[in-house]
């Protein structure tokens, strides 16, 4: 069984049974076994990298340099970190014991959950399939990976990679569409890790509840970017443009709307326009380094957002190439479609504010975002935003790059997700913590 391309009733129960039997044999509990599996995955990543890059180009139009930077390099960083630390992370951890239990010793033992399901999305299909897989394997689990059918070439390339590295009883890739995902969710897993939209996340959460299965949901939301009056506008424009146009805006932590102090709004718009033209010339729709929108359905949704919009900059589209140039929309109403759901494309609403308290209030009236960004030279402003706005993670005077640091736990809060991973946090996520009592220890 190399990989599975399946309808709803094909072989899932048998695959999971085989993984449970393998897990019960105890091999994955050995840290040396885990490290060797991670080393094989690292070697497999190098071997399959050309195929993965070609698949990313075919499915998403990603230039090789961008795909290497945003998909392959973070996976390699995650692998190296796990390989170096899996022994240390796996050791029992001594912890304090209260005086009332004098004579006892207290330790935390981390054990794998068992067989886990990883459901990954289409926008970063390599990164968001392999990063949780690394954490699951490092923690000693067996895994079933279900890539998105919306990136079919990457799905097939991932299936080849995983089959080349792991025996299917340890880790397997299951390809297929919505019916396949639904059928997998009918099975009993020991942990479910899902990355995708809040709408589908609710479905996954409901299915997991039926079996009392713990779950991590990596979702999204409307991530704000605040530009204060004292911000370095040239720097802000450069980093907003980079973060927004990475993968043509199809990034869960991309800035989704700008809240700009009214006194610097026009100047910031001018700096953004100048930055775009430095990077992409006068016609970014024709630039070879600019990825496309995933498919016709997503393109039509985004193009519809431009109808009747007050456009500050941009607005041109290419229906054949499925490209939309960076478009700044001026002061959309709160009930406008561009202010309702996550845009997931190269469209950026721009709203002015006069008072920081009002900007914070506008953000907090919405569901808690996955990311929040602030551009300001004022320590007081930065600390106030960090203190007063609940969000998953973010940056000061930058965008997006926080997710590239494997030492920072990554995840959402509320509507934007449940649970955090990356680096050691990912190992902890896929590990159950228990106290293993000794004969001379009180319970």
218 included as an active-site residue: yes
Question: From the candidates 142, 173, 225, 252, which is the catalytic residue?
Answer: 252
Q: Could you say which DSSP state residue 367 is in?
A: P
One pLDDT digit (tens) per residue for the chain, 443 residues:
344 444 444 579 999 999 999 999 999 999 999 999 999 999 999 999 999 999 999 999 999 999 999 999 999 999 999 999 999 999 999 888 888 888 888 899 999 999 999 999 999 999 999 999 999 999 999 999 999 999 999 999 999 999 999 999 999 999 999 999 999 999 999 999 999 999 999 999 999 999 999 999 999 999 999 999 999 999 999 999 999 999 999 999 999 999 999 999 999 999 999 999 999 998 999 998 899 999 999 999 999 999 989 999 999 999 999 999 999 999 999 889 999 999 999 999 999 999 999 999 999 999 999 999 999 999 999 999 999 999 999 999 999 999 999 999 999 999 999 999 999 999 999 999 987 545 454 44
Max Cα-Cα span within the chain:
75
252 included as an active-site residue: yes
| SS3 (DSSP) at 267 | helix
Span 239-254, pLDDT tens digits: 999 999 999 999 999 9
Domains, the chain, with CATH or none:
4-219+412-434 (3.40.605.10), 224-404 (3.40.309.10)
Question: From the candidates 218, 271, 325, 415, which is the catalytic residue?
Answer: 218
Span 366-382, pLDDT tens digits: 999 999 999 999 999 99
Could you give the CA distance from residue 218 to residue 197 in angstroms, rounded to a whole number?
Answer: 8
Exposed, middle or buried, 25 (CB in 10 Å: 0-12/13-18/19+)? Answer: exposed
Q: What's phi and psi for 195, nearest 5 deg?
A: -120, 125
3-state helix, strand, coil in the chain (%, to 5): 45, 20, 35
CA proximity to 253, closest of 227, 222, 276 = 222
């Amino acid at each position: 069984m190399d990989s599975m391309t399946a309808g709803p009733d094909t072989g899932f129960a048998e695959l999971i049974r085989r993984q449970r039997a393998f897990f019960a044999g105890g091999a994955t509990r050995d840290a040396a076994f885990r490290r060797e599996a991670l080393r094989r995955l690292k070697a497999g990543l190098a071997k399959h990298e050309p195929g993965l890059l070609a698949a990313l180009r075919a499915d998403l139009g990603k230039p090789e340099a961008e795909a290497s930077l945003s998909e392959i390099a973070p996976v390699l960083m995650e692998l190296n970190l796990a390989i170096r630390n899996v022994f240390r992370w796996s050791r029992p951890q001594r912890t304090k014991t209260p005086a009332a239990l004098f004579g006892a010793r207290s330790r935390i033992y981390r054990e794998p959950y068992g067989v886990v399901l990883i459901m990954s999305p289409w926008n970063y299909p390599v990164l968001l399939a392999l990063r949780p897989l690394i954490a699951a394997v490092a923690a000693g689990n067996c895994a079933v990976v279900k890539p998105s059918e919306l990136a079919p070439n990457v799905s097939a390339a991932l299936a080849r990679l995983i089959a080349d590295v792991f025996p299917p009883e340890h880790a397997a890739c299951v390809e297929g569409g919505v019916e396949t995902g639904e059928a997998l969710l009918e099975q009993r897993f020991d942990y479910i890790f899902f990355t995708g939209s809040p709408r589908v996340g609710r479905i996954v959460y409901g299915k997991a509840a039926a079996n009392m299965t713990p779950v991590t949901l990596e979702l999204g939301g409307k991530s704000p970017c605040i530009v204060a009056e004292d911000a370095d506008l040239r720097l802000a424009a450069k980093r907003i443009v980079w973060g927004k146009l990475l993968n043509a805006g199809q990034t869960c932590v991309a800035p989704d709307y700008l809240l700009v102090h009214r006194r610097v709004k026009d100047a910031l718009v001018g700096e953004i326009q100048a930055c775009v033209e430095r990077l992409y010339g006068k016609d970014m729709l024709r630039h070879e380094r600019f990825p496309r929108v995933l498919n016709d359905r997503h393109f039509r949704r985004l193009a519809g957002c431009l109808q009747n919009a007050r456009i500050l900059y941009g607005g041109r589209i290419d229906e054949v190439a499925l490209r939309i140039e960076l478009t700044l929309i001026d002061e959309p109403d709160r009930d406008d479609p561009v202010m309702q759901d996550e845009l997931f494309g190269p469209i950026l609403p721009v709203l002015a504010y006069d008072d920081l308290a009002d900007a914070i209030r506008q953000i907090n009236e919405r569901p808690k975002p996955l990311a929040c960004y602030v551009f300001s030279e004022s320590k007081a402003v930065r600390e106030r935003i960090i203190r007063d706005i609940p969000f998953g993670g973010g940056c000061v005077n930058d965008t997006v790059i926080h997710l590239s640091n494997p030492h920072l736990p990554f995840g959402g809060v509320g509507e934007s997700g449940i649970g955090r991973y990356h680096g050691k946090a990912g190992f902890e996520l896929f590990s159950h913590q228990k106290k293993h009592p000794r004969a001379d220890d009180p319970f």
